Structure 1
Amino acid sequence: MMDPSKLSGDCKIKRSTYSYIHAHSVLSLSSPSLLPTSTMSAELKAQKRQKFEHVFSVIREELLTHFDGEGMPKDASQWYRSNLDYNVPGGKLNRGMSVVDTVEILKGSALTDDEYFKAAVLGWCIELLQAFFLVSDDIMDSSVTRRGQPCWYRNEHVGLIAINDAFMLEGAIYFLLKKHFRSTSYYVDLLELFHETTYQTEIGQLIDLITAPEDHVDLNKFSLEKHRLIVIYKTAYYSFYLPVALAMYMSGIRPTSGDKDGYALARSILIPLGEYFQIQDDYLDFAGTPEQIGKIGTDIIDNKCSWCINTALAYATPEQRAVLDQNYGRKDAEAEKKVKTVFEEVGVRQKYAVYEEDAYKRIMGLIETIPAGGLGQDGEVKLKREVFKSFLDKIYKRQK
């Protein structure tokens, strides 16, 4: 087992060096985020990610410099560094990089060094929020691995100290917001948005935990409405609305009243989009092959309150319902096969195909309520259709 104090890297980049890195590295590209993801080369995607990761190196040192400046002992500083390195930068980073993408779309041109840095800081605040959620969730679920390595709490000498580590990841968000945005007109908006989104996600987590505990299967608690609430509160707000709303505040879009409020309009599009994304994810867990999705689907054996089981429950005959009751959530390959057979019999694949087309048309219809020239006053940054189309294009008909 590993000692967390030895998990960190030694990359240190000061904020003052960021402009040099941006201007002189191969990462100085002409608005790469404005390109649809599907048209980007693998090399360009890697460069875009590397540029974003440079900013993490900067903010990590800011957090540690503040920590050391408070007179904290060396072993505590090493632990904090390990916590940050192990839990924050290892994911897909889609949520964080979406902030940068959205600011670029709203501005309509490449960002300055300072604009990029601030957008990326907001993106990393989302990744810190994600890390806070995941470290906590792994403890609650008694999970074993995360992102191809042991869950943080399962490392030697960590254990339930991981609970406090999760709190520190969350606290880092507010240190960074104060450091980089305290003097802006939208600082309080950022604080309120992060607090509200955190609370919404925790509400969704509560519903999920009491509806579908892994060690107690009760399909009577399941329903498509319960699934909808879990998806909206646990996923859609922080994964879809949060990145766009942060970018809107940074870009100077102010909340207004009535049907001219860009934030209400953005929410009305992004929450259904997030719901579509999660239903798609649930479907791929059942229907996608390991080669296709890069993992083995486990929703059935893990007693997940997924769209597939709730759809099956809505259409199952009494005999099929009995099969589901007897086999869902069991750590048994034969039981899993029986559940999948019922999924096929009730037509989960066909129902998903209908759902996907309907969701796409519905979301496109919402996007088209935004005026072609953008929503907002002349001379101001306007909310654009392209913000939402970029999300939808990445998701529609995805196979992994």
Structure 2
Amino acid sequence: MSSSTVSPKEAARQRFIDVFDDIVEELTEILKSYKMPQEAIDWFQRNLNYNTPGGKLNRGLSVVDTYAILNSTTVDKLSDAQYKKVAILGWAIELLQAYFLVADDMMDQSKTRRGQPCWYLVEKVGNIAINDSFMLEGAIYEILRRHFRQDSCYVDLLDLFHEVTFQTELGQLLDLVTADEEHVDLDKFSLAKHSFIVIFKTAYYSFYLPVALAMFMVGINDEQDLKQVRDVLIPLGEYFQIQDDYLDCFGTAEQIGKIGTDIKDNKCSWVVNQALLKATPEQRQLLDNNYGRKDDESEAKCKQLFNEMGIDKIYHDYEEDTVQKLRQQIDQIDESRGLKKEVLTSFLNKVYKRSK
């Protein structure tokens, strides 16, 4: 591909991926310094390359974008040294994401991830994937130590990664005990549980973490500023996941790039919780008989019911109401200590009315 045909978005992604190649090399050198046998080094490299760079990379790229906004510049104007350092923080989140996904896929017995077999299903991997997920997490702290140990923000970065990891694991725990695929029980569902799951399982590490990391790196560490950011990004993360739940049910496979499985997987999704709030005894019976079943006919009955109940309109009303409130909140942000409203506006614009 000639350079003239590469879009700015693709070029930004490639610059980011180039930093990952350096990280793999650094981590390899650490293993060599421990005199690790070559077969184990090869395995670790394969684990890193298979599980980390394949997604959209939104979380990692958000760290870079936020850092540039807070420095009143654009990403392409950052020096190579500046860019590499902030991109390393971005890759630390992508390693965290990889760690969660490798473990999550085993817990859910998923078959594919990002268009390829889940890591534990790759030939000869199996239960070794459990240790591989731990190694992906360990890699975060190796690269942070190598690049940030001398920085005044080092402890803040470590503290934040540990806190957000624990929050995400709490969300995963509630998700697992609420949506047991073997024993479907809609009485376990509620909008309050759904809210807790999505805030803890998704919003903290996908929305708050990238921005807070960039803030620490530029020296904005006042608790008031972190709270201002949290108060917008956590509801925004919840909106993002509700949107995901909506698209899983109402979006087409071409539109969202995958076949929705929430109904068959007995997920405690926003859509079913809205239906449970409104259901007549007959409608509730239909949901009890069909939700969480693995067959297409049961899924179709649930979808038909959601359409009849007007869940589509409830979602669109929720979306407009939420976005209006978030815009008002962003307008009131205090920028006196270096925080910029643009950071939050750019996140909201990426999420509002997305279709995939």
Q: TM-score range by the shorter chain?
A: over 0.9
Deviation for aligned residue 1:115: 1.3
1:47 aligns with 2:11: yes
| Letter of the 2:265 counterpart | D
Q: CA offsets, 1:165-184, max 9 Å, x none?
A: 00000000000110000000
Relative to the length of structure 1, the TM-score reads 0.86
**Which whole-Å CA distance do the structure 2 matches of 1:142 and 1:283 have between them?**
23
**Which whole-Å CA distance do the structure 2 matches of 1:196 and 1:288 have between them?**
34
RMSD, aligned α-carbons: 1.4
**Which whole-Å CA distance do the structure 2 matches of 1:160 and 1:118 have between them?**
34
Deviation for aligned residue 1:290: 1.3
After the TM superposition, which segments of 4 or more aligned residues of structure 1 sit over 4 Å from their partners? Answer: none
Residue in structure 1 matched with residue 219 of structure 2 by the alignment: 252
The match for 2:28 among 43, 54, 64 is 64
Residue in structure 1 matched with residue 41 of structure 2 by the alignment: 77
1:274 aligns with 2:255: no
1:229 aligns with 2:196: yes
Equivalent pair of 1:193/1:242 in contact (CA under 8 Å) = yes
- Choose 231-240 or 289-298, whichever is displaced more: 289-298
| Letter of the 1:286 counterpart | C
**Which whole-Å CA distance do the structure 1 matches of 2:350 and 2:127 have between them?**
38
Unaligned 5+ segments in structure 1 are 1-24, 28-40, 377-381
The match for 2:67 among 89, 100, 103 is 103
The match for 1:370 among 333, 336, 339 is 333
**Which whole-Å CA distance do the structure 2 matches of 1:390 and 1:42 have between them?**
23
**Which whole-Å CA distance do the structure 2 matches of 1:107 and 1:70 have between them?**
39
Unaligned 5+ segments in structure 2 are none
| Letter of the 2:140 counterpart | I
Deviation for aligned residue 1:366: 1.2
Residue in structure 1 matched with residue 121 of structure 2 by the alignment: 154
Deviation for aligned residue 1:254: 2.1
Relative to the length of structure 2, the TM-score reads 0.97
The match for 1:238 among 190, 205, 212 is 205
Deviation for aligned residue 1:337: 1.0
More helix by share: 2
1:215-364 equivalences in 2 (<5 Å): 215-256=182-223, 261-364=224-327
1:212 aligns with 2:179: yes
Equivalent pair of 1:262/1:375 in contact (CA under 8 Å) = no
**Which whole-Å CA distance do the structure 2 matches of 1:320 and 1:254 have between them?**
51
**Which whole-Å CA distance do the structure 2 matches of 1:150 and 1:203 have between them?**
26
**Which whole-Å CA distance do the structure 2 matches of 1:355 and 1:54 have between them?**
40
Q: Equivalent residue of 1:169, what SS?
A: helix
Deviation for aligned residue 1:399: 1.3
Deviation for aligned residue 1:375: 3.3
Residue in structure 2 matched with residue 389 of structure 1 by the alignment: 345
Residue in structure 2 matched with residue 20 of structure 1 by the alignment: none
Q: CA offsets, 1:85-135, max 9 Å, x none?
A: 110010110000000000001101122211111110000000000000000
1:180 aligns with 2:147: yes
**Which whole-Å CA distance do the structure 2 matches of 1:61 and 1:317 have between them?**
60
| Letter of the 2:271 counterpart | C
**Which whole-Å CA distance do the structure 1 matches of 2:15 and 2:181 have between them?**
39
Deviation for aligned residue 1:296: 1.4
Equivalent pair of 1:201/1:237 in contact (CA under 8 Å) = yes
**Which whole-Å CA distance do the structure 1 matches of 2:258 and 2:109 have between them?**
19
**Which whole-Å CA distance do the structure 1 matches of 2:114 and 2:217 have between them?**
31
- What percent identity do the matched residue pairs reach? 61
The match for 2:103 among 108, 125, 136 is 136
